[in-house]
A and B are shown apart, each in its own frame.
Chain A
Amino acid sequence: MYITEKRITSSLVTWEMNAIISLCHFCELHGPKILFCTQPFRPQEPRNLYGDDLETNIAHRLKSVSVAPNPSADAHSTPIFSTGSKDQCEGCKSVQTGYVSTDEDAQVSYVSTQQPYNPEVFARIRQACIRSLSSEVCPGREGPIFFGDKQCGHVLSYTFYIPDNQARGMHRWYSILIVMMDKIYLLNSWPFLVPHLRIVIENLQKKASKVFDQEEAKCPQRPLRLGAVVDPNNFIKQRGGNKPARSLQELTGDKSVFRMLHVAFLWILKACGNRITETLLEAPPTEDTIIDMEKQEETEEGFIKLFTRKADDFDSPHEQKESEMRPMEDKELDHTICETEVEDPLAPVVKNLRHLRKILESSNFLSLAHHVVVGNQVIVSGQQRPLVKSILETLKSFLPKGCCRVIPYSNKYEESWKCNFLGLSPEVQLSQHVTSSELFVHIEILPKLNILPLKEVETPLNSWSGPESDASDPDFDGDTRLDDFQFKMSSTVTLPPRVPTVLTRMLMALQNKNLSSEVVNAVFTCLKEEWMNKVKVLFKFTKAGGNRNEEETKKLLQIVGAREEDKQLLKFWITGLSMQYRQHILSTSSHSYKS
């Protein structure tokens, strides 16, 4: 951010009326007036007001204009609202030019001027200003109030006075307005806005009362005014009220008061914008969304706290974007390879499940998927980091998010309680006790032996090299980068003969060529949610009712439409329930025990 003083003309400023903060005062001579106004400009958004005049960078424009200021602009922007003959007095003036601050990251410029130059905005702010200072009644006189409507915008107005020993009543009225079109947003920001406005106001008042005390000590107003003798010779001269009102700078004794206000206002605008972000909620959140939300938890101070669960949920950081999480991983998993190299976009990767199925052939794919859904550990070892990672990423879509614990690439074996998806470098050898005790499926990615002619390798070895007859599938046409690899799959577990119901349905969706990949994704989401609901019922059943015998459980499974072969899957998926739901069930069930 930087602050520059620029000349701003009415011709180039467009408006985004998300929120505008303005300082207004009640001028003794001219009535309610806008003094200072800070508004954000977002140059990247399309401009409807000025048609073709698409500006890409307002800061740039401002700079260019500052070189050649437009003299006609000032005449154009004079306020029309006044009854007095002289339109401007010291008290009604704030800044000749204005301030601009540009937030380069967010592509927002914050512009402070005396008045908004867009006539439409000006009309609204003026209206709000008049209402705030000469119509609305604030209980206790000083304080925040809310008013407004859809047409004129909704306004939070904080009225306050600044001591001035020259003024009638020894003080002058000011108000800070925040005008937004979004009523809900404004009211929800109230708890944030009001204390911060109060800080700004108290700052101004403190400065001004210091000046006031000094002036009062020098020249007490009370006896002066009471003792003033009016006689025909001096009455016009000595009537102090015709003196022009003093400016805010003079009242506060602070030359840079408007600069300070600019910074304060833009901070409020920016922080207020960051405080609440809107998410469109189309339906009740799925279990996956809740898991995502649990990982991000906003703290009081407005920072995003990363949700870290205890040892058994050790995975969470890994699911965040890798680049963001690096520093944390470094500390926690020093054994993990943490290369920050930029991934080669041409590196061979697996794009989606259909692609993976092509590569692995359906029978192997089926058993791999079966391993995945019942929670056996999946170990993928290979030299090619992106490929390993992409395989794990792809397989994750079989499971609800809560069930996925991923270590994308490691130089050391990790136990299955730590992760169910593990990428390994090929050098790692699985020790004897691992192969004997753990339930896992191991996929090795091996380079094809170059000495063998390509065609001979493909068929006899029954390894699954790249797609053989791809002509029918346009998706992966010409992708021959995976041709150089072969995949070897081995497992210590013998799978039950019958596939879980949900997996059968997932595979059916995959096989159906009429469905696009988006549709397949939607189907997967639905199926997972459907089965998570069954999992919830089961969880509730086991936790809530005390001991359950085999017979009862069987009955329940029958009711929810699960069969014998689904049992293992349901048991595994229970681990994927969100904390929120678990806590809810546990607290309610313990509660019911007590009562």
Chain B
Amino acid sequence: MSFEDDETPCTYVGSFPKGFGYGPEEAEIEGPVNPGEEKPRILLMGLRRSGKSSIQKVVFHKVSPNETLFLESTNKIVKDDISNSSFVQFQIWDIPGQIDFFDAAFDSEYIFGGCGALIFVIDAQDDYMEALSRLQMAVTRAHKINESIKFEVFIHKVDGLSDDNKIETQRDILQRATDELNDAGMDNIHLSFHLTSIYDHSIFEAFSKVVQKLIPQLAVLENLLDIVISNSKIEKAFLFDVVSKIYIATDSSPVDMQCYELCCDMIDVVIDMSCIYGVRDIFLSRARDDGAFDNESASFIKLNSGTVLFLREVNKHLALVCILREDGCENRGIIQYNFKCFRAAIQEVFVARNKQANKSTGHPQMDLLVNGQNDDELDSDETTQTNGGAMASGHGLLNGSLLQDDD
């Protein structure tokens, strides 16, 4: 671990409740997990000072971008377990840039063997020639160890560059990196490039794309979202991981960066509102410190541009956020109904996935956890149905007021 809450006073973005995060970081817990069941791994690599730890802190620990100036250099592999929802389950390994982990002293088979994606971070504000040669080396070696590994290149810290400069840099890096790979005869390797910065949403967007590639059910989810939007007159729908604001799936229409930012901001607003007004028992909520955000949360926000934002929780960590035209939300009942169908379908995907997991794991504890979770979710689903869509929780207050406005 290279970061401690009690040591550096970290400012969370907005009024983000502590208990709602992913919990304390767990470094180097290597349980006796059989390799087949291990969570996919995302490796963060790159030269020292390229911003690997900052990315990890900002995306997954809600550290303010300014605070990353005071992060110490990472001296060992920091493993961060991200396993909140059933879809988003992976480990992030933050690898210090000073150390060559392909060296014989390290078990590179272990590090790269179970790896799902390798993110190589290049500092766009620095001279990137050395970074490119390291990238080339890392890619070829990691590919040798693990052929199924996916390579992502983050051209990072682009906030310091002008727009022309950004394009020029990306073009240059892409050209050089692919040329080098072709020269090495590794043209079968595909590199994806992203322009990123921790000061805007580009890093979340880029990380979303990385994570999506690790979700085997992505095609099903995208298909479901397509069905929902086409039947509900929705323009764009995202399935969000609420904590990290990574979207794990979207419909097949192209993603507009502004739309994405809008949706991210909406999540912030809803969480903040829930924290202030959505608490029925303030003491209970304080004790749990869960931000009063649960699978009943829902919100409509009408913007004066004639656009309506609609948020609906799928479960504690997943939310569906949609953008639609004002005239599209005339028939709110249809949207609610369609959402219920959508949620039921996602539950089915969960169940199918867990059944698979149940078969393969021999751990009774794991099974209990998984099954228990399922029952819980199904139960809550039923209660929603009996209440006939009325907001049972404290959020009713918030939602109710919005609904009234609408009527």
| Chain A residues in the interface with B (C-beta under 8 A) | 26-32, 81, 83, 85, 127, 130, 133-137, 141, 167-171, 173, 222, 225-226, 230-232, 235-236, 239, 241
A26 CB contact (under 8 Å) in B69, B73, B103, B130:
B73
Please pick, from A27, A135, A170, the residue contacting B72 in the complex, using a CB distance under 8 A: A170
- Residue pair A26, B66 in contact (C-beta under 8 Å): no
Docked Cα-Cα span, A531 to B360, in Å, equals: 71
State whether A134 and B70 are in contact (beta carbons under 8 Å apart), knowing that A230-B125, A232-B165, A236-B126 are contacts in the complex. Answer: no
For the complex formed, measure the closest distance between the CB of B97 and the CB atoms of chain A, giving whole angstroms: 8
Whether A130 and B105, one on each chain, are in contact in the complex, defined by CB atoms closer than 8 angstroms, is yes
Interface string of B33-68 (1 = CB under 8 A from A): 000000000000000110000000000000000100
Given A27-B98, A230-B160, A231-B160: A135 touches B76 (CB 8 Å cut-off): yes
What is the total number of residues of chain B having a CB less than 8 Å from a CB of chain A? 32
- Closest chain B residue, CB of each to CB of A231: B160
27 pairs, CB–CB < 8 Å, chain A vs chain B: A27-B98, A28-B98, A29-B98, A31-B99, A32-B98, A32-B99, A83-B99, A83-B134, A85-B130, A127-B105, A130-B105, A134-B75, A134-B99, A137-B76, A141-B1, A141-B4, A168-B73, A171-B72, A173-B75, A225-B69, A226-B69, A230-B125, A230-B159, A232-B160, A232-B165, A239-B49, A241-B49
Judge whether A133 and B76 touch: CB under 8 Å.
Answer: yes
CB distance from A26 to the nearest CB of B (A): 4
Chain A hits for B103, CB < 8 A:
81
Chain B residues with Cβ under 8 A from A27's Cβ? Answer: 98
Name B79's closest neighbour in chain A (CB-CB).
A137
User: A28 touching B73 by the CB < 8 A rule?
Assistant: yes
State how many angstroms separate the Cβ of A189 from the closest Cβ of chain B.
26
B96 at the interface (CB under 8 A from A): yes
B28 near A: Cβ within 8 Å? yes
- Most chain B beta-carbon contacts within 10 A, residue among A29, A169, A236: A169
Whether, in the assembled complex, B100 has its beta carbon less than 8 Å from a beta carbon of chain A, the answer is yes
Contact A31 B98, beta carbon cutoff 8 Å:
yes
Q: Beyond A169-B73, A241-B48, list 14 extra A-B contacts (CB 8 Å).
A: A27-B98, A30-B98, A31-B96, A31-B99, A32-B75, A83-B99, A83-B134, A134-B98, A135-B77, A167-B73, A169-B70, A222-B70, A225-B70, A230-B125
B71 close to A (CB within 8 Å): yes
Query: Does B255 sit at the interface, judged by CB under 8 A?
Result: no
Complex CA gap A171/B76 in Å reads 15
Cα separation A28 to B99 with both chains bound (whole Å): 11
Query: Which residue in A28, A130, A135, A170 is a CB contact (below 8 Å) of B48?
Result: A28
**B127: CB under 8 A from chain A?**
yes
Give Cα A32–Cα B162 distance, bound, in whole angstroms: 36
User: Which residues from chain B sit less than 8 Å from chain A, CB to CB?
Assistant: 1-2, 4, 27-28, 48-49, 66, 69-73, 75-77, 96, 98-100, 103, 105, 125-127, 130, 134, 159-162, 165
CA gap between A241 and B126 in the complex, in Å: 11
Distance of A168 Cα from B52 Cα, bound (Å): 14
Q: Which residues of A contact B75 (CB under 8 A)?
A: 26, 32, 133-134, 173
CA distance A230 to B28 in the complex (A): 36
Residues of chain A contacted by B70 (CB below 8 angstroms): 168-170, 222, 225
CB closest residue in chain B, given A169 = B72
Let me know if B72 and A168 touch, CB within 8 A. Answer: yes
| A239 and B125 contacting across the interface, CB-CB below 8 Å | yes
Q: CB distance B71 to A168 under 8 Å?
A: yes
A319 vs B403: C-alpha distance in the bound complex, in angstroms?
Answer: 102
A171, B71: Cα distance in complex, Å: 10
Query: CB-CB < 8 A to B134: which residues of A?
Result: 83
**Residue pair A26, B49 in contact (C-beta under 8 Å):** no
- List B contacts of A135 (CB < 8 A): 76-77
- Contact in complex: B48, A29 (CB < 8 Å): yes
Cβ–Cβ contact B49 & A236, under 8 A: no
Q: Whole-angstrom distance between the alpha carbons of A27 and B99 in the complex?
A: 10
Tell me which of A168, A230, A232 has the highest count of chain B C-beta atoms within 10 A of its own C-beta: A168
Query: From residue A364, how far is it (CB to closest CB) to chain B in Å?
Result: 77
Closest chain-A Cβ to B77's Cβ sits at a distance in Å of 8
* Shortest distance from the beta carbon of B106 to any chain A beta carbon, whole Å: 8
Residue with the greatest number of chain A CB neighbours at <10 A, chosen from B28, B96, B98, B125? B98
- Bound complex: CA A230 to CA B75 (Å): 26
